[in-house]
Amino acid sequence: MEKEQFSPKSVYRKFLELFDTQPILARSPGRINLIGEHTDYNEGFVMPAAINRDIVVAIDFSMDDHSTLFSVKNNEFFSFHTSDPARVKSPLWANYLLGVVRKIIDQGHAVKSFNCVVDGDVPTGAGLSSSAALECSFAFALDQLHQFNIPRQQLIFIAQWAEHNYAGVKCGIMDQFSSMMGLEGKAFVLDCRSLEFRYFPVNLNNSAIVLCDSMVKHSLASSAYNTRRMECEQGVKILRDHYPEVHSLRDATLQMVESQKAALPGKVYDRCTYVVQENQRVLDASKDLEKGDLAAFGKKMYATHEGLSRLYEVSCEELDFLVDEAKRIDGVLGARMMGGGFGGCTINFVIKDQVKNFINSMSGAYEKQFNVKMNTYIVSIKDGTGIIKI
């Protein structure tokens, strides 16, 4: 039988077909980040929003001591003894769910056996946080099924724990936070130290947010990501010898970094410089958006890309090409790579009546250069994690 196109209904029907009981359904979206990259694990600022692409989980209790997961995308089952959700070598997708079960049990909740089906339309490896969407939708679904009433903030940390310990990526809090807390039409500035956040309406005036997917999968990027995190920690340690008030790069100023240039290894100096600049950029950029000054905001996007590419070194040839091309096209206000890097998407602010031309020009140029057809997504900003009624 041909695979039905993804929708919450298709997940529901698949569940009935496989397990023949009435599930509940939860969804959790991917995210974009307007500005503030690699700042979250430095206790800095980010400006994300949840988007119109979801991971959907259907779940119900099962009658035995095993729990069974089914991934529609992978067309694959995975069963485990409910009291022993250990990390597995394969299939890798199961680890995101197993990690969540582990942490919820460890927090003292009695998880009963269950069946579940997952599917979605958040592209994987595209920098849109499909893994956070999977962790969050599943954590929420499991909580709702058992009626544990775990607060959202706690579910966010449970999801992050799964990413750290079962997927091996020492990510910050941005992705899980955005997936859980997104609001339709709104982005938010999140202080990743205090977790205080402020929603604001994204007033795009006459422009649209377009993502260009380089199609370079960043699946091998986790070790580089963890290295960046360590380099930042190394920087903090050195700065702290002279400035005891620096507990994370959030507390550092450019002047402090400059003054320790000789003590900081070259790469570490570059990483610190980028993070300190980027934190300030987020604060300045939020003022641009408040004033509706998208041109000023766009310039900061280019500056972020430059920093990510030259100083933080998490870009790649394809992403640099996409940003350089975007600069040349009429109606583009700003462009930069988005997310962890080494592949995935660029985010572009494009005047609405130029979007078609933008997509055609970018796709043409990309194919000519790399012989690869890229995907583009015009995104809208949607609510975070929730229950779906069928």
Q: Cα–Cα distance between 244 and 229 in angstroms, integer?
A: 20
For 53, residues 6+ apart whose C-beta sits below 8 A from its C-beta are 29, 30, 120, 121, 122, 123, 128, 133, 377, 379
Name the residue nearer to ligand GLA (CB basis): 136 or 174: 174
175: annotated active-site residue: yes
Name the residue nearer to ligand GLA (CB basis): 163 or 318: 163
How far apart are CB 17 and ligand GLA at their closest, in Å? Answer: 34
Name the residue nearer to ligand GLA (CB basis): 45 or 114: 45
Name the residue nearer to ligand GLA (CB basis): 59 or 136: 136
How far apart are CB 190 and ligand GLA at their closest, in Å? Answer: 11
Per annotation, catalytic residue among 119, 175, 213, 270? 175
Name the residue nearer to ligand GLA (CB basis): 94 or 174: 174
CA dihedral (97, 167, 164, 24) in degrees, to 10, reads -20
In order of 86, 107, 109, 161, 384, the CA distances from 103 in angstroms are 11, 6, 9, 7, 22
How far apart are CB 203 and ligand GLA at their closest, in Å? Answer: 24
For 229, residues 6+ apart whose C-beta sits below 8 A from its C-beta are 41, 170
How far apart are CB 171 and ligand GLA at their closest, in Å? Answer: 3
Name the residue nearer to ligand GLA (CB basis): 14 or 103: 103
Q: Which residues bind ligand GLA (CB under 6 A)?
A: 37-38, 40-41, 129, 171-172, 174-175, 339-340
200-206 long-range contacts, CB within 8 A, separation 24+: 200/286, 200/289, 200/290, 202/34, 202/49, 202/289, 202/381, 203/289, 203/292, 204/294, 204/349, 205/292, 205/294, 206/351, 206/352, 206/353
Q: Which of 297, 274, 170, 149 is nearest to 221 (CA)?
A: 170
Determine the 3-state secondary structure of 387 from DSSP: strand
How far apart are CB 131 and ligand GLA at their closest, in Å? Answer: 8
How far apart are CB 262 and ligand GLA at their closest, in Å? Answer: 29
For 108, residues 6+ apart whose C-beta sits below 8 A from its C-beta are none
Active-site positions?
175
